[in-house]
């Protein structure tokens, strides 16, 4: 079966993309930002996921204000870079995974999350900048990427709880996909920033660092945070962080934090980044162990078809 093995969060500041595209990565200002992702690229090169799911928001590139889907899943075979005003970024076309995407769409919609299925879509910096930060600037992205666009630009965005539960539904969907695929899920956007108005330039490092701590160790503390709290503490655009909760919901309750990076600022935004890995499942740790089989006592108890089914289910639960 397919499995989500890790989650990655990363800011998706457009100026980071411009720094890459205009070869400014070695300038001291930008080196401070990019050097924080050196270990991340190493981790990604070692992890080699088969597929990534990228939770991001569109910035009026694919969707205008005429249509603003709350959750839109990219089910196409490919997603070209969008023209964001200066022409499309010179990055590879993002190749999708239509069969896994269709499977996720079916599973989560039947789980009562009403996704919009998108069969044609361009992707902007919200998705391509985190890919650069994790994969560098290859000629082709090394694996298929399924985009999941979340509305955080027009009120009302989904709640953090809704995002977290969607993550759970995505995990269930992935785990019911028959092919053996190792999947990494991205949550992008944030951290604290406000682009316009009297509080333009707002950055709240204390809030950001506490958010990273809770994301890693205690996500229950974040899932019921109100939109107003995000906006008051992290600025109007800080609401993007609800998307990180989709990523977190798709992971196990306990995760291993393998890397974290935080720096201020990039353009007018706090940059936050974390890599969380799921622990190996019991089935993986004890692969081949006879303990996974029902004991003779359990077999003896399973006298009726219902009991046999229950015993089988219990044994499968142990296997994870
Ligand atoms: Fe954004």
CA of 189 to the centre of ligand 1 (A): 5
At residue 320, the pLDDT reads 28
**Is 193 a known active-site residue?**
yes
Place of tokens 């969607």: 166
At residue 295, the pLDDT reads 55
Q: Let me know: does 147 contact 123? Beta carbons within 8 Å.
A: yes
**Is 12 a known active-site residue?**
no
The single residue of 12, 97, 125, 273 carrying the catalytic annotation is 125
Tell me the whole-structure pTM to 2 decimals.
0.88
**Dihedral angle sign, alpha carbons of residues 65, 71, 74, 80:** positive
CA of 57 to the centre of ligand 1 (A): 6
CA of 152 to the centre of ligand 1 (A): 8
Q: Let me know: does 6 contact 184? Beta carbons within 8 Å.
A: yes
CA of 82 to the centre of ligand 1 (A): 14
CA of 194 to the centre of ligand 1 (A): 10
List CB contacts of 240: < 8 A, sequence separation 6 or more: 57, 152, 188, 189, 190
At residue 281, the pLDDT reads 73
At residue 294, the pLDDT reads 53
- The 10s digit of each residue's pLDDT in 183-223 is 999 999 999 999 999 999 999 999 999 999 999 999 999 99
CA of 5 to the centre of ligand 1 (A): 25
CA of 236 to the centre of ligand 1 (A): 11
At residue 284, the pLDDT reads 55
Whole-angstrom distance, CA of residue 237 vs CA of residue 190: 7
The DSSP symbol for 28 reads H
Q: Which residues in the chain come in under a pLDDT of 50?
A: 286-292, 302-307, 309-320
The single residue of 103, 193, 224, 227 carrying the catalytic annotation is 193
CA of 178 to the centre of ligand 1 (A): 34
The DSSP symbol for 29 reads H
Whole-angstrom distance, CA of residue 153 vs CA of residue 67: 12
CA of 268 to the centre of ligand 1 (A): 12
At residue 160, the pLDDT reads 98
At residue 317, the pLDDT reads 35
At residue 207, the pLDDT reads 98
Terminal-residue alpha carbon distance, the chain: 11
Burial class (CB in 10 A: 0-12, 13-18, 19+), 9: buried
Short-list 124, 143, 236, CA closest to 188: 124
At residue 300, the pLDDT reads 56
Helix (H) or strand (E) holding 208, with range, is helix 205-217
Angle between helices 125-135 and 14-21 (to 10 degrees): 60
In this structure, what token pair is assigned to residue 23? 């070869």
């Amino acid at each position: 079966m397919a499995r989500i093995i890790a989650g990655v969060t990363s800011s998706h500041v457009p100026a980071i993309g411009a720094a890459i595209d205009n070869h400014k990565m070695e300038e001291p200002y930008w080196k401070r930002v990019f050097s924080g992702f050196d270990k991340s690229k190493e981790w990604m090169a070692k992890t080699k996921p088969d597929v990534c799911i990228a939770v991001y928001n569109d910035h009026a590139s694919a969707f205008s204000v005429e249509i603003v889907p709350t959750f839109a899943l990219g089910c196409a075979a490919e997603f070209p870079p969008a023209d964001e005003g200066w022409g499309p970024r010179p990055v590879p076309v993002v190749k999708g995974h239509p069969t896994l995407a269709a499977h996720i769409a079916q599973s989560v919609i039947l789980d009562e999350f009403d996704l919009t299925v998108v069969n044609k879509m361009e992707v902007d910096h919200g998705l391509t900048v985190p890919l650069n930060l994790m994969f560098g600037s290859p000629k082709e992205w090394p694996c298929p990427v399924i985009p999941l666009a979340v509305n955080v630009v027009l009120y009302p965005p989904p709640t953090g709880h809704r995002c977290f539960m969607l993550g759970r539904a995505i995990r269930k969907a992935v785990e019911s996909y028959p092919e053996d695929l190792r999947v990494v899920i991205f949550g992008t956007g944030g951290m604290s920033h406000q682009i316009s108005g009297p509080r333009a330039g707002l950055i709240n490092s204390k809030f950001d660092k506490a958010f990273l701590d809770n994301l890693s160790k205690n996500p229950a503390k974040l899932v019921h945070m109100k939109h107003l709290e995000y906006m008051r503490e992290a600025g109007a655009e800080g609401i993007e962080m609800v998307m990180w909760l989709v990523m977190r919901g798709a992971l196990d309750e306990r995760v291993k934090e393998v890397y974290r990076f935080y720096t201020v600022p990039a353009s007018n935004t706090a940059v936050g980044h974390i890599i969380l890995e799921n622990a190996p499942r019991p089935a993986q740790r004890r692969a081949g162990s006879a303990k996974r089989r029902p004991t003779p006592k359990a077999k003896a108890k399973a006298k009726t078809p219902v009991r046999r089914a229950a015993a089988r289910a219990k044994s499968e639960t142990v296997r994870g």
